[in-house]
Structure 1
């Protein structure tokens, strides 16, 4: 059984409106599909991890009539989960179908990036993987990054944080900064660290970005 890692280049005209917004708005950084249930006769149900300005992302959801409803759950000032129900386009259905042929499995996340590409991993037999690449619709192009024997899911990645960033995360956990709803503030973290709130916020943002990037991009 093989594991295929590829980058799919999508014509702008075929992009999902939210993905197109990601390529044009510096306030949005990353949109990663974590889970999805594709419905044949109704809206699809999808769960995303999003990095960037939350209001800009909500505005992108509101700006397309493909989205039936959604719920956004904040994680940090610059990251959130988004539960979305939406109608797939013909292109989306065709692209999805190419990588969900019998004998294939898409391994989440599927990462939509600001350069207009989508990055994904597919597991299956070599012949089925080749058929998938040949079945990509004309409005897209799949570039193969890596093909190897599948050895199971990757181990949990290590996160390279500075000592100060680890202190900031520990303080944030202690004051309830990551509780839902949030119990502690950046100011409370700053008091624990004996620094300015802006400095504490910067430590947390850098630590959170490192942790999320390591999780989402683990290969």
Structure 2
């Protein structure tokens, strides 16, 4: 039986996943949102496609400053302040160790990976229950894998939020984390807007569209 396991990767050391991500995570004008693709080559260099938001000039400065970045290119996104960064990087631990676990235990990585508001990575892997458990036991000691969800994998079960934009996902995640959908409600539009650095009207518009999409998906 194929299973899926969703967990959050929390670095326990200052080195984070890779020096390029450390520099981006610490810059006040850059927000990491997602990892759309990542692959490690035999020479232990790799390529990654990151989705981010903020000042592209700041991103360019960061990528130029990191010695372990071999080559890079910024690609404009659909949102006004969104962009993607294609990065060819020199592999470093713990990133190399984590990626090798996928091959060793024959696991499928569900993409894109999402960065949480704290800058951690939310990851879903697919494989046999035994292989997933063995891989988790061999996660590098500098990483804490915190389980959030698991179950039987159904490839035809498309989640209702699959079609949301990156900005809509950000607003929805903030609303859920802050308790907007709890009973009684624990957060307001104003508080969500402050957390997402946008206007109250934008929060209302996004949540209305999200709720409409989820309801229509459930009725189909």
| TM-score (norm. length: structure 2) | 0.67
Name stretches of at least 5 consecutive residues in structure 1 with no aligned partner. Answer: 162-201, 215-219
The CA deviation string for residues 28-59 of structure 1, in whole angstroms up to 9 with x for no partner, is 22242111231111631222221222222222
1:143 aligns with 2:146: yes
Alignment of 1:154 with 2:158, yes or no, is yes
How far has the Cα of 1:72 moved from its partner?
A: 0.6
Give, in whole Å, the separation in 1 of the partners of 2:44 and 2:14: 25
Give distance in 2, aligned partners of 1:21 and 1:27: 11
Partner residue in 2 for 1:130: 133
Identify the range of structure 1 (95-104 vs 80-89) with the bigger mean alpha-carbon deviation: 95-104
Residue 66 (1) aligns with residue 68 (2): yes
SS in 1 for 2:22: helix
The 8 Å contact of residues 107 and 131 in structure 2, kept in 1 or not, is answered as: yes
State how far apart, in whole Å, the 2-side matches of 1:102 and 1:15 are.
Answer: 20
| Paired residues of 2:53 and 2:82 also in contact (CA < 8 A) | yes
* 2:180 alignment partner in structure 1: none
One of 113, 123, 141 as aligned partner of 1:120:
123
The Cα of 1:23 is off from its aligned counterpart by: 3.5
Q: Could you tell me how far apart the structure 2 residues matched to 1:155 and 1:38 are? A: 28
Which residue is 1:44 aligned to?
A: 46
Rg bigger for which structure?
1
Query: Does the residue aligned with 2:94 lie in a helix, a strand or coil?
Result: helix
Q: Which residue of 2 aligns with 1:103?
A: 106
Q: Which runs of 4+ in 1 moved over 3 A?
A: 158-161
Distance in 1 between residues matched to 2:68 and 2:158, nearest whole Å: 34
TM-score, length-normalised on structure 1? 0.67
- Which 5+ residue runs of structure 2 have no aligned equivalent? 168-197, 211-220
